[in-house]
Amino acid sequence: MSQNGLHSNGNLAYLGINNAQEHWNLSAEKLSKITVEEGMGKRADSGAVAIDTGEFTGRSPKDRFIVRDSITEEKVWWGNVNIEFDEENYRKLKKKVTDYLSNKEIYVRDAYVCADEDYRMNLRVVNEYPWSNLFAYNMFLRPSDEELKGFDPEWTVINAPGFMADPKVDGTRQHNFAILSFADKTIIIGGTGYTGEMKKGIFSALNFILPAQRNVLSMHCSANIGDDGDTALFFGLSGTGKTTLSADPKRRLIGDDEHGWSADSVFNFEGGCYAKVIDLSADKEPQIYSAIKDGALLENVTFEGNEVDYTDGSKTENTRVSYPIHHIDNIAKPSLGGQPKNIFFLTCDAFGVLPPISRLTPGQAMYHFISGYTAKVAGTEAGITEPQTTFSACFGAPFMPLHPTAYAEMLGDKMEENDVRVWLINTGWSGGSYGVGSRMKLKFTRAMITAALEGKLDDVGYTKHEVFGLNMPNSCPDVPDEVLHPRNTWADKSAYDAKANELAEAFNKNFQKFEDYASEEIMSGAPKVTAKAK
């Protein structure tokens, strides 16, 4: 069967999708053209196509479910993140979705994830809309024409944004849903056009499969590689600088968001990038800006004429673009590297407490990995008038089916085996909290990361942070000494001490839910509230 064109002979009948007009593996150019011609999107002056995802402009974590079955029952960390779904309800709802897609014009893509051939997992993605299929083309790895012959998918994504569930009948919370079945090896998504549900659905599946079955640490991080083959990992929640800091002109990008760490390699799960574009400019983010061209898919942006207004967040602050990784010049081919030498945990501490760079012990590394801390600042969300702590376990809690300590202990083992240096980087405030102090200069952060990568912080003196116990370098090339120790940058030292204790108490309170599972080494990384300013 030809893999590039229109089929209406029931090739997806095995899924229960019957009499559909099936477009298989169309090019990015063709999908973009259909999207515009069907009135679903608009062509920007850069050549990219812009669409609106509709009611949902971001993921809906409370509507992401995992089917509770013999595979998942004893292994998944059930709760508010991993919400269970009944097997029988899943089967009934899947049939409703496939019946809905029957007799429609639909778009099918064969793709795979995991750039390391030893861990490759084949996917089939079935989409109601052409632009959703374009997203799948951009974000997943693209088989060659030869590989498409006799392609055998292991997992399937069935994506029907126009299908609305009936919560009372179907067992969902509301009309939208994203449900993973590990027994069926299928993800069904309905009621939402937000494309990131497909990406993060597959990420969630890999976060269960790879650690539990393949001894591979799955990670929500970016990664790059230097000329001498040294790999670096960058973990961080949204707004901490993960994409920006891994985009280094002196280093090749492995990937910007999802990776696996095996005994032999660090490898990208994906074949593309899904970047925020709010306030994007050619000056601030030249690589991302230049990647927005023919084949790229913009989401929920506004226009002035045919020119995108990246400053406008009226639809959402979560404006996005997806593009294949080859839209960036400076990339690793294939998207993998060797064992990492350095790991960076990025946080945007709007309280101005944490040092701009500090070196972590193994216990501290596991503790901060499980904590996954950053702070939201005023203006980022409605009702936030002063900094608020945010903790997301493993820097990606919504996508982690196993208990966070399972990932942390695997990280600790790999760090020890490979003698990896782990650094905590604060890209947030210095000299005071948000509103008093100022944001750490990007050029200083880049200089600190460069110094760490080049081994220039190996032989400098260190001072231990009184509350967090972090080892802070006393000097760093191209960075003023006074900014390296945060207490010194505050005019009111007692105010700093009080704020440091306040943040330490927030860390300790957050960690209470993990204590029963955490080892003594992990617990040794916790901050200790001091008598000062109590």
Active site residues: 59, 200, 220, 238, 242-243, 257, 320
Q: Are the beta carbons of 254 and 225 closer than 8 angstroms? A: yes
391 vs 489: CA distance, rounded Å: 25
Helix, strand, or coil here: 259? strand
The terminus-to-terminus CA distance of the chain in angstroms comes to: 73
Residue with tokens 């778009």, as numbered in its chain: 107
Q: What does the block give as tokens for 28?
A: 């990015």
105 vs 19: CA distance, rounded Å: 9
Q: Are the beta carbons of 28 and 124 closer than 8 angstroms? A: no
Q: What is the CA radius of gyration of the chain?
A: 23
- H or E element, residue 236: strand 231-236
Q: What does the block give as tokens for 10?
A: 């029931």
One-character DSSP codes across 366-417 = HHHHHH-EEEE-TTSSTT--S-EEEE-GGG-GGG--S-HHHHHHHHHHHHHH
The pairs formed by 102-105 with CB atoms below 8 angstroms and a separation of 24 or more are: 102/16, 102/17, 102/18, 102/19, 102/20, 103/18, 103/19, 103/20, 104/20, 104/21, 104/128, 105/20, 105/21, 105/23
Residue 461 C-beta-side C-alpha neighbours within 13 Å: 4
∠ at Cα 343 (340, 348), nearest 5°?
155
